Chain A
Amino acid sequence: MTDTTIIEGKGRTLWGDVWDQYKTHKGALIGTAVFMFILFAVFLGPYIYKVDPQYLNIRDKNQGPSLTHLLGTDQLGRDMLAQVLHGGRVSMAVGVIAMAISLLVGTMVGLLAGYFKKLDGPLMRLTDLFLALPLLPLLLVIIMLFRDTLRGMFGPETGIFILIVFIIGATSWMHTARIVRGDVLAQKEREFVLAAKSIGTPSRRIIRRHILPNVLSPIMVSATLGVANAIITESALSFLGLGFPSDFPTWGRLLFDGANYMTLTPARVVWPGLAISLTVLSVNFIGDGLRDALDPRIRGR
């Protein structure tokens, strides 16, 4: 009889391993830090910097950065820093939630279409239909039908927020679905899937435990692009009058309003543009880090 000494050591879990790998990705760490900073700035900032973003002071219009207005003012004398902070809340919320919706729908459609041959045809034709729909008239119709009911139920701003997030999510999932489907079609024929099938693993477990982790790569890329796309689409909607009320600042809208004042007060475009770019970049690096950490072939390299 051999005495087996049980060596007590630090327990290793999947998520612990993932976090260990994530920590080594410098870009992801910086990205996480920046993203956290932006998050805190937009959610807690307005409590510290208590200037009302909608307060107009015409005498102060079109000023550059100064002590009273840290980032300058716009053509009506509204403070830019307050607008960027408040606008950040909406833009980030729209960006993240709309991206989550489109990611969810797109991944689900892609997985189902790629794995089940019978669903492939109808689901892909549905994707084609959505791709072919003209976005602007569709928006006009949806807004016309639902704006007043939602406004009545949730109040003007929350109602529009729900509508916009839903619209952006419902019209940007197609790209993700196609890419994921392509990858699933490739993964489906691999040996480990065949092995899992041969021992009788039900389809849903195969999809969830075997296929989904291997198609994370395109999903992560779509997530990043999705956030940027959502923020920019929201600004296009506001520009067309289909978005938030005009006195409600969002980054995309600030960028659009300030575009023509570029030569007069460049601060107006630099800050919202920087905010959008930093958010997208940080989400991108986080996505990179996550993908590396979740890929068992890279982990522990």
Chain B
Amino acid sequence: MKITNLFMAAAGASLLASTVIAGSHEARGRDGHANIIYWQAASIMNPYLSGGTKDIDASSMVIEPLAHYDENGNMVPTLVDEIPTVANGGVSADLTSITWKLSEGLKWSDGSAVTANDVVFTANYCMDPNGGCQQLAKFGDVTGVEALDDLTVKITFGSAKPFPYGPFVGSTTPVLQAAQFANCSGAAAPTCTEANFNPIGTGPFVVSEFRANDTISLTANTEYRDPAKPAFESLTFKGGGDAASAARAVLETGEFDYAWNLQIAPEILAQMEAKGMGTVLSGFGPLVERLMINLTDPSASLGDARSTVANPHPFMSDIAVRQALSMAIDRPLLVEVGYGKAGKVTCNVLPSPAIYDSPNNAGCEVQNIDGANALLDEAGWVMGSDGVRAKDGVRLSILYQTSTNAVRQDFQALIKQWWSQIGIETELKNIDAAVFFGGDQSSPDTFQKLFADLEMYANNFDGTDPEAYMGNWKCSEIPSPENAWLGGNMPRYCNADYDALVAEMAGTADIAERARLAIAMNDMLMQSYSIIPLVHRGNVAAAANTLKGVKLNVWDSDLWNVADWSR
């Protein structure tokens, strides 16, 4: 025992010595300049005023939250020393409050000290009713935020929260400097252009020039807490163009070091990578491309009652039809054609994190045209002379809509052909993304209204907890004229047992129990075939081979560890 202790001490000492020695060789800013390209340009450096991923990522280089998610989905402390849990007393036993303790000696980039006051101010900034804060959902159910002393913040919730890590965890909710944003609360928030473009933060970089929708020039933060980081003295964050040209800039011309979100056909990406200047990185979060079946009748003749629960769908209400639709799809081929390495086949709408991945739905990986045909024959859908099945005068004719996107259009073409082999006639429709995902009441093309028989898109959730995500399919979340179509339950799925599981999960704290409930909910959805999952999509990025330290993170900002990058 004593000898092992001695060994441990010696090992520890030498490790310490080597890091000290190594540390003195590494200086901040030794690697010069780096270039990052995001094909969607950043508009503002304040994620509270813009929830777009590009803006969150851009601001994550300058302002930071109390804790980040790392590339495996685990929480890592950033401005604190340890993550509060029930075990270490940070979270109260009744799960209604969480206390964060800031690290000692943290400084803003202008030299002033970081205090709990800044955290309190930021929370109030977002919760201000007139502010239009885009991250309000993260502060849902927060009843109070107070500073217990200079370095301690206590957040209180209205009800017990098994997962209290909503506010200030992840780059979507960073801490702002109270002094800088003092006059920017509420309705005045959008007027503070200077602060919104050049926030004072604790992150590794500071903004030296911000050109909206174009380029951001950044320099290393001299007050950053780790004196050896960042390795780069300056950074350029350029925006604009499209994904293919961004990939080209990193992989073929070498003008840039990192490109984000490369949604390009896999063969083109492979060809670019073959040039040898850069590497394609991919990581899998919870993003799933899926078909949402409309269980209600979208026929235009119903007028205002279109796509409402008052009228069940003439043929989609038949589970045999929905199951046949799913069986006819060749998912491995979809992955190969659309995403290559950046996609995986999935039979679950909740495939990630791994503890929530249900093993009970395997079998959808193999296309089964004959089985689908047999199923439809059995259910009484007779093949007509025009190749389209019909029963009681109802023809299986589908309107299939999705957003405008080359890969999605390819999927539509493939799926249309497979469905024609089982006697289903399909009409394809694609809608501009800003219209499809927008909430304009007057447009009939939004994905909430679902004035079609089914639609395809991808969805995911923030962070690692699926509670809010699975809650999307409660009966109360059905979009309808009464709630101005503001709901997340596109298939109009309504099942009392499902709602009961959602309520149970809201009160369960044990992770294993939560996983069991999530899996049960997923199975219920999958086995009703109201949602047909297609591809588990990953994030794809490209990094130059000379760039070291990049860890693609699907749970947080792509640039979460830009302080650790070097050449």
Contacts and interface: CB of A to CB of B under 8 A. Distances in A.
A240 B333 CA distance: 26
Contacts of B337: 58, 61, 75-76
Interface string A59-85: 001100000000000011010000000
Contacts, number: 65
Contact of A246 (B300, B333, B430, B445): B430
Contacts of B110: none
B413 A260 contact: no
Interface in B252-289: 264-265, 267-268, 271
Contacts of B429: 245
Contact of A144 (B406, B417, B445): B445
Interface size class of A (residues with CB under 8 A): 20 to 34
A17 interface: no
Given A144-B443, A247-B416, A247-B428, A76 B410 contact: yes
B31 to A, nearest CB: 32
Interface size class of B (residues with CB under 8 A): 20 to 34
B82 to A, nearest CB: 48
A78 to B, nearest CB: 8
A246 B428 contact: yes
Interface string A143-172: 010001000100010000000000000000
Contacts of B409: 246-247
Contacts of A257: 406
B430 A260 contact: no
Contacts of A54: 413, 417
Contacts of A78: 413
Interface in B410-465: 410, 412-414, 416-417, 427-432, 435, 442-445
B244 interface: yes
A55 B417 contact: yes
A144 B446 CA distance: 11
A131 to B, nearest CB: 24
A55 B406 CA distance: 18
A115 B445 CA distance: 46
Contact of B265 (A75, A144, A240): A75
A213 interface: no
Interface of B: 244, 264-265, 267-268, 271, 300, 333, 337, 403-404, 406, 409-410, 412-414, 416-417, 427-432, 435, 442-445
Query: A-B pairs with the 3 shortest C-beta distances?
Result: A241-B404, A246-B409, A241-B430
20 contacts: A56-B417, A58-B333, A58-B337, A61-B337, A62-B267, A75-B337, A76-B337, A78-B413, A140-B435, A144-B444, A148-B444, A156-B427, A240-B404, A241-B403, A241-B431, A245-B429, A247-B428, A260-B244, A260-B265, A264-B271
Given A241-B403, A241-B431, 4 more contacts: A56-B414, A75-B267, A76-B413, A78-B413
